[in-house]
Amino acid sequence: MYAHRVAKPLAGLLFLLAVTAAHAASFGMPDLMQMLSQQPSGKATFVEKKTLAVLKEPLESSGELSFTAPDRLEKRTLKPKPEAIVLVGDRLTLERSDGRKMTVSLSDRPEAAAFVESIRATLSGDRGALERYYAIALDGTAGNWQLTLTPLQARMQKIISQIRISGARAQVKTISFLQADGDRSDMTITSTAAR
């Protein structure tokens, strides 16, 4: 009689664990891309730490990010000195604190295009754009996922060995760039407006 009273709640618990595990296992790239594609725009703050072999301490910068689907991405660094990177379509513009401005076309720079698409295609939920440049691996659940991007192009592999993007649902929380030379950049992102 005692065994029956213990077995029934235990069976219920095992069933609940199995259902939870099955739901977690069913989360995949189509689910993540669908969630991300439903967010037309967003604003956030960032803190970026660059770890370089030639320096004892990481370089830290901070500022603001904004994204407007499908193709506008802006990174405004406020500290340690003002700088802006604005991407609209194929045009990438760098604005320095001394007033200098430089604009390039991504079609002229395939490595830069691959680098930019890692972020822009993720934010817009564009799996096809990601797969043009990267082998993709997704781990986790909808509430805690990590996307690992490994460059396909030999020229890009000489610069970046891997990009790791993590988040929760449609919110990107961190972006890490692991460079081929061992240096790395880790960006922590905090949303400031509903996307």
pLDDT at 136 over 50: yes
pLDDT tens-digit readout, 142-155? 999 999 999 999 99
For position 79, what pLDDT does the model report?
96
pLDDT at 176 over 80: yes
Count the neighbouring beta carbons within 10 Å of the beta carbon of residue 140: 15
Report residue 16's pLDDT band, with 50, 70 and 90 as the boundaries.
very low
Report residue 15's pLDDT band, with 50, 70 and 90 as the boundaries.
very low
Q: State CA 4 to chain mean position distance.
A: 50
* Beta sheet of 134-141, edge-to-edge order: 101-105, 91-96, 83-88, 72-79, 59-68, 41-51, 184-193, 171-179, 160-168, 144-151, 134-141
DSSP for 16-81 reads HHHHHHHHHHT--HHHHHHHHHT--EEEEEEEEEEE-TT-SS-EEEEEEEEEETTTEEEEEEEESS
The residue written with tokens 């401005």 in the block is: 101
For position 61, what pLDDT does the model report?
97
For position 25, what pLDDT does the model report?
54
Cβ atoms of 105 and 88 closer than 8 Å = no
Burial of 102 (0-12, 13-18, 19+ CB in 10 A): exposed
For position 109, what pLDDT does the model report?
86
For position 193, what pLDDT does the model report?
59
Name the percent of the chain lying above pLDDT 70. Answer: 86
pLDDT tens-digit readout, 77-130? 999 999 999 999 999 999 998 989 999 998 888 888 888 889 999 999 999 999
pLDDT at 169 over 80: yes
For position 24, what pLDDT does the model report?
47
Q: How far is 137 from 117, CA to CA, in rounded Å? A: 16
pLDDT tens-digit readout, 39-72? 889 999 999 999 999 999 999 999 999 999 888 9
Domain ranges of the chain: 28-193
Q: How far is 6 from 116, CA to CA, in rounded Å? A: 56
Position 152: which residue type?
A: L
Residue 174: partners with Cβ closer than 8 Å, 6 or more residues away: 164, 165, 166, 167, 186, 187, 188, 189
Average pLDDT over residues 155-170: 95
For position 111, what pLDDT does the model report?
82
Domain 28-193: homologous superfamily in CATH? Lipoprotein localisation LolA/LolB/LppX (2.50.20.10)
Taking each helix axis from N to C terminus, what angle separates 110-124 and 29-37, rounded to the nearest 10 degrees? Answer: 80
pLDDT at 13 over 50: no
For position 8, what pLDDT does the model report?
56
